[in-house]
Structure formats: structure tokens, C-alpha cells
Amino acid sequence: MDPSPRKPILCNEKVFEISDEVLDRLRCILKTRKGFNLSLYKDKCIKRRIAIRIRATQSATAEAYGNLLLQDGSELDALLQVLTIHVSEFFRNPTTYAKLTNEIFPFLFNLCKKENRNTLNLWSVGCAGGEEPYSLALLMKDSFPEETARVNCSIYATDVSDAVLKVASKGVYGSERLKSLPQLLKSRYFTYCDGKYQLLPEIMELVTFEQSDLYCTETYPKSDMIMCRNVLIYFEQKQQAKIIKGFVDALPSGGILVLGKSENLLGETRKPFQTICPVERIYRKI
């Protein structure tokens, strides 16, 4: 996926006055009741998203909205959904997938052969509705049939929103999500019914979805490739560095990290990596 960024509210929309005290209160409510750590994210982006629900509920103030959260569990779910908005599509940024097909996956399969390994573990971070991990599964299935016959490829897909993961696990998409998908793959691996496209089970079974955030770096899964595109931009710089350090620990020597095109490795976070493709933001752990 290049999941598109979790879209901020339009700049010309009103941002309600949310004091630090009220924001801390909202953080505490989300953390204790939903396990969602709001403190990791940039305040400006978060305030804009909270304003969506303040308007939607016709709350007079941010303080009044905080009171509503304590009284209405469904509003907590609605707020969490807004805070983790995802919009994506299959094979978003096709040039990235071309690079994966032509260079990165041949390298990874050769590395498995060289190290006499029969497993290849991929991790899609912030996987949204499943478009990115399913795109990886389609790429594996269609472009590397011989390699996947001898190497057990697993795709682990995580997101902070349980709601979007439930949608992802169904593998059903509208045509707007498939606009960058090659027609051959669409006809080969999807069935069409009632205006929607259903992925075949042989693709869906390659992906494991799990609700998770990036707060606890010690729990990051060991991975040969990590795709984390347009996720880091919503974190404060200190937290970004912590997440990258977690990725370093999760990757083996030769492991691949793919970021979004608006993201970079800066300062100390760059040292453990060799740049493979600066345009596509692809890096290899040294």
C-alpha cells in the first residue's frame, strides 16, 4: 500500500480551541478505555481530527465533547475511527511495486537461498483496508510462483484501527480501490459481484491481520522487509526515531525498509541503512 497519508482535515476548516489540559484529558480517555496512545502523534493533526467529531456531535466546546466521550462508548469508537482514517488502493505508486518486482524480491529470494532459509517474512505497517498487503500477496503469487513454491512467504499486516482490519479481512473492494491494479491481475484474482470485487481465498490466506500500534518497539515482528509508508509523518520526530530503531532491531542484515515518498531517514536513523533507491525511499539494513 502505499497507504495514502491518514488525511488531515482541510486547512480552511475551523480548528476548535483545544487546550493542553483538555487534550491531555482526551488522551487519558482514549488510553484507558481503548488502549490508543494519542500522545505519540502530532498535536496539530490530532486537534484537526478531533474537531471533526466535535462538529459532528454538535458539542459546544472541546470540554463538552470530553464529557460526551465519558458517557457514550459509541462516540469513542467514532473518534478512534476518525483518528485512524485510511484511504488507499491496490498497487498505489506503481513505480514502487515495479522496483519491488524487478530488484527487491529477487534479492530477498536469493538471500533466502544463500542462507539456506525457507521462510520470507514481510510486514505491512499501517495497512489500512488491506490494499498494500494484498498487493504484496498478488505480486508474490503472480510474479514469483517458483520462488514461493520453495519459500514459505508470510505477510503480516498491522493497523491501530480494529474497524478497518475487519473490513480488510473480508477482501471486498470498490472499483476506485483497484484503479492502479493491472487488468490481468483483476481478472485472474478477483470475482465481481454486486458492484464489488472479491479477492480469491488463495490471495487472502497469504495475509495475517492484527491490531497493533507502534508504541511498544519490543513487540515488532522479525521481518525480512518492512513497508511503512505515509505513517511516520504523523509522529513527532523523537517518536519517529524510536520507531525506526525498532525497525532496525526487527530486520536482519540485508533486510529491506520501504518508506513513503514524503518520508526520509534523517540523522542517526540513516546510519544502519544503505540507500537502495532514494526516489522510492527503499533502504537495506547494513
Neighbours of 264 (CB within 10 A): 15
Place 11 in a pLDDT band, splitting at 50, 70 and 90.
very low
Mean pLDDT, all residues of the chain: 90
Place 82 in a pLDDT band, splitting at 50, 70 and 90.
confident
pLDDT at position 108, please?
98
> Of 37, 63, 83, which residue constitutes the final position of a domain?
83
Answer yes or no: do 63 and 118 share one domain.
Answer: no
The closest alpha carbon to 46, from 235, 228, 213, 215, belongs to 235
What value does the mean pLDDT take over residues 176-202?
95
Answer yes or no: do 65 and 128 share one domain.
Answer: no
Place 243 in a pLDDT band, splitting at 50, 70 and 90.
very high
The 10 Å CB-count burial string (b at 16+, else e) for 117-126 is: eeebbbbbbb
Looking at the domain assignment, is residue 229 inside a domain? yes
Query: For residue 225, what is the enclosing H or E element?
Result: strand 225-228
Answer yes or no: do 99 and 74 share one domain.
Answer: no
Is the pTM for the entire model greater than 0.75? yes
Looking at the domain assignment, is residue 2 inside a domain? no
Chain position carrying cell 498535536: 43
pLDDT at position 9, please?
35
Answer yes or no: do 59 and 183 share one domain.
Answer: no
CA-CA-CA-CA torsion sign (200, 202, 205, 207): negative
Percent of the chain scoring above 70 in pLDDT: 93
Answer yes or no: do 208 and 68 share one domain.
Answer: no
- Counting Cα atoms < 13 Å in the Cβ hemisphere of 201 gives 0
Containing structural domain, residue 248 = 94-285
Residue 196 maps to which CATH number? 3.40.50.150
Answer yes or no: do 100 and 219 share one domain.
Answer: yes
Answer yes or no: do 180 and 281 share one domain.
Answer: yes
Answer yes or no: do 111 and 76 share one domain.
Answer: no
Looking at the domain assignment, is residue 8 inside a domain? no
The closest alpha carbon to 283, from 253, 248, 256, belongs to 256
> Of 59, 83, 107, which residue constitutes the final position of a domain?
83
Place 85 in a pLDDT band, splitting at 50, 70 and 90.
low
The closest alpha carbon to 230, from 78, 110, 84, 70, belongs to 84
Chain position carrying cell 530503531: 245
Give the total number of structural domains in the chain. 2
User: From CA 250, how far away is CA 19, in angstroms rounded?
Assistant: 38
pLDDT at position 2, please?
43
What value does the mean pLDDT take over residues 106-120?
96
Answer yes or no: do 32 and 145 share one domain.
Answer: no
Answer yes or no: do 186 and 251 share one domain.
Answer: yes
Answer yes or no: do 182 and 276 share one domain.
Answer: yes
Looking at the domain assignment, is residue 122 inside a domain? yes
User: For residue 134, what are the CA distances in angstroms to 62, 164, 194, 274?
Assistant: 39, 14, 21, 27
Longest CA pairwise span in the chain (Å): 63
Residue 8 clears pLDDT 80, i.e. is over it: no
